[in-house]
């Protein structure tokens, strides 16, 4: 949390372009750092008001720190064993809020949905063990009980 306060109060660190979002996906990913083997990426995520992600996993560990605004995170658990391709049965098991004073962490098979319920674009800093487009992660539709590959658009 000290990191979030340092970043958010350091003049010039956060640029106007960091608030830019992809309107099709509802958020923007701004890659700040990544090793040559795609490990240890650091992203600034920007979240449009009223938008977020589908339910998904990461297939890697992650730590998220809130920088500006508030985001809702909905935690989910998989009920099936994953043996039927394209199928997933999920239940919602919790919720937490991410603000400038909080952080979230998860492991590779943890499933969540992130959403900006506010009226302005929010920012959060994400660090992962591996770049999320190189892990083979999954997006889920809890209503339709489907599972599919999940790749996102990243701005370098």
Here the CATH number for the domain that contains residue 51 is 2.60.120.10
Q: Is 87 within the bounds of a domain? A: yes
- Give the mean pLDDT of 44-66: 97
CA–CA separation, 62 and 42 (whole Å): 10
Q: Is 154 within the bounds of a domain? A: no
Q: Is 74 within the bounds of a domain? A: yes
- Give the mean pLDDT of 75-86: 97
Q: Is 30 within the bounds of a domain? A: yes
pLDDT recorded at residue 96: 95
Round the average pLDDT of the chain to a whole number and report it: 93
- Give the mean pLDDT of 32-39: 97
Nearest to 55 by CA among 120, 146, 121, 125: 146
Q: Is 156 within the bounds of a domain? A: no
Per-residue pLDDT band at 136 (split at 50, 70, 90) = very high
pLDDT recorded at residue 155: 85
Segments forming the whole domain that contains residue 124? 2-149
Strands (E), 9-102: 27-33, 42-47, 55-56, 62-68, 71-78, 90-98
The number of distinct structural domains making up the chain is 1
């Amino acid at each position: 949390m000290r990191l979030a306060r340092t970043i958010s109060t350091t003049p010039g660190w956060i640029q106007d372009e960091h608030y830019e979002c992809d309107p099709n996906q509802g958020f923007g990913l701004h890659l700040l750092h990544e090793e040559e083997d795609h490990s240890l990426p650091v992203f600034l995520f920007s979240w449009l008001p009223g938008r977020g992600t589908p339910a998904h996993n990461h297939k890697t560990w992650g730590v998220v720190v809130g920088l500006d605004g508030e985001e809702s995170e909905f935690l989910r658990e998989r009920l099936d064993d994953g043996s039927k391709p394209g199928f997933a049965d999920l239940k919602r098991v919790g919720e937490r809020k991410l603000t400038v004073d909080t952080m979230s962490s998860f492991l590779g098979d943890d499933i969540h949905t992130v959403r900006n319920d506010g009226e302005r674009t929010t920012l959060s800093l994400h660090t992962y063990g591996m770049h999320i487009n190189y892990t083979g992660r999954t997006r889920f539709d809890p209503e339709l009980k489907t599972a599919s590959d999940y790749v996102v658009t990243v701005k370098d």
